[in-house]
């Protein structure tokens, strides 16, 4: 299995997602809403959209 490259913004989003998820206080939809409100941008300026199925 090849190692993958993770953009720092994506890595931060994954950490926040996990932290919110393990509290049991947020649904997948609420986590997606929070991530979208904060915004995560790629180096080329595109914003990563989060949906329930990507959380």
State pLDDT tens for residues 15-40.
Answer: 999 999 999 999 999 999 999 998 88
Q: Give yes or no for residue 2 having a pLDDT over 80.
A: no
For 47, phi then psi, to 5°, come to -95, 140
At residue 22, the pLDDT reads 97
Kindly state the tokens that stand for 14.
């994954």
Instruction: Count CB-CB contacts under 10 A for residue 51.
Output: 11
> How high does pLDDT run on average in the chain?
83
Where does the pLDDT of residue 3 fall: very low under 50, low under 70, confident under 90, or very high at 90 and above?
low
């Amino acid at each position: 299995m090849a190692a993958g490259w993770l953009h720092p913004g994506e890595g931060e989003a994954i950490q926040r997602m996990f932290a919110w998820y393990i509290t049991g206080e947020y649904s997948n939809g609420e986590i997606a809403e929070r991530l979208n409100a904060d915004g995560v941008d790629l180096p080329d300026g595109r914003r990563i959209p989060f949906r329930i199925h990507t959380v």
